[in-house]
Amino acid sequence: MLKSMYSGISGMKANQTKMDVVGNNVANVGTTAFKKSSTRFTDALNQTIIYASAPSGGIGGVNPGQVGIGTKVSGIFKSMLQGSIQPTGRPTDLAMDGDGLFVIDMNGVEAYTRDGSFSLDSNGDLVTSGGYRVKDTAGANINIPDKAPNPDGVDKKVISFNISKEGQVSYVLDDGTRSDGQMLQVAVFKNPEGLEALSGNLYGQTANSGNKIAGAKYGMINQGAIEMSNVDLSEEFTEMMITTRAFQAASKVITTSDELLQEIINLKR
């Protein structure tokens, strides 16, 4: 069997994976805080036909002669570049401008997200679209109470709340005074690209993301805004065309190799 057939098959498989990644990027162009991925290839096995030799006497050296046997996917990399900030006017919407991820309690497991399209449940807890609770710096649920103490220690009705750029929650009380509440917890990782996507715009820690950096500086939190996807459709459409042509070329290698095999079989006739 011709090696070129296996090279063609590997090219088709690798470009099929790349098309899957491009398709997912395009599908999530409108997903809040979505981070696009890109595919990288590397050459696969190489068979040495001519071995290298050093110069000796009156004879010069010989370079190695190798025949490659295809390609393979070397990695799928996630771009954590920030998307544009879109104002919404909703007080529960938060956008992270700079490094950092919001910390989420996902059924007892700590998860992380850049998607700040939060809302309040019937208990006053700040939750994600999937119902997972947002955590404060002490590990408790961020909660907007019905009442909070004013500067005199007296409980007053909470009529609205604000979240500072540092993540400090404060309440506006019905007597016009303000009261400080909890502090949002923000996680920063040395290698955020190493986080594992868990679906639902959530990420989980992995061995290569490392642990959260204690006391790390993070970006500013913008209340009443969300982060948009960082997918660039013009780039994705260009990658789609290149991937399509590469897939077609790899399939042509297979059909051409088949024609050569047919010629060899015809020698018997």
Q: What is the pLDDT of residues 218-240, one digit of tens each?
A: 999 999 999 999 999 999 999 99
Residue with tokens 């913008």: 222
Q: Say how far residue 1 (Cα) sits from the centre of its chain.
A: 41
In tens, the pLDDT along 242-262 reads 999 999 999 999 999 989 888
What confidence score (pLDDT) does residue 46 get?
Answer: 86
The verdict on 173 and 111 lying in the same domain is: yes
Q: Say how far residue 36 (Cα) sits from the centre of its chain.
A: 6
- Say if 57 falls within a structural domain: no
- Say if 248 falls within a structural domain: yes
The verdict on 146 and 41 lying in the same domain is: no
Scanning the chain, the segments in alpha helix (DSSP H) are 3-27, 233-266
Task: Kindly report the pTM of this predicted structure.
Answer: 0.88
- Say if 117 falls within a structural domain: yes
What confidence score (pLDDT) does residue 128 get?
Answer: 96
The verdict on 236 and 157 lying in the same domain is: no
* Confidence tier at 45 by pLDDT (50, 70, 90): confident
Q: Which range marks the domain in which residue 254 is found?
A: 3-51+66-80+231-266
Instruction: Please give the average per-residue pLDDT across 116-131, as a whole number.
Output: 96
Instruction: Please give the average per-residue pLDDT across 151-178, as a whole number.
Output: 93
Q: Which of 165, 167, 199, 194 is nearest to 182 (CA)?
A: 167
- Say if 59 falls within a structural domain: no
- Say if 92 falls within a structural domain: yes
Between CA 178 and CA 186 the distance in angstroms is 24
Percent of the chain with pLDDT over 70: 99
In tens, the pLDDT along 159-171 reads 999 999 999 999 9
The verdict on 115 and 73 lying in the same domain is: no
The verdict on 219 and 163 lying in the same domain is: yes
- Say if 190 falls within a structural domain: yes
Question: How many alpha carbons fall within 13 Å on the CB side of residue 262?
Answer: 6
The verdict on 197 and 223 lying in the same domain is: yes
In tens, the pLDDT along 139-149 reads 999 999 999 99
Domain count, the chain: 2
Q: Which of 97, 64, 70, 73 is nearest to 83 (CA)?
A: 97
The verdict on 201 and 91 lying in the same domain is: yes
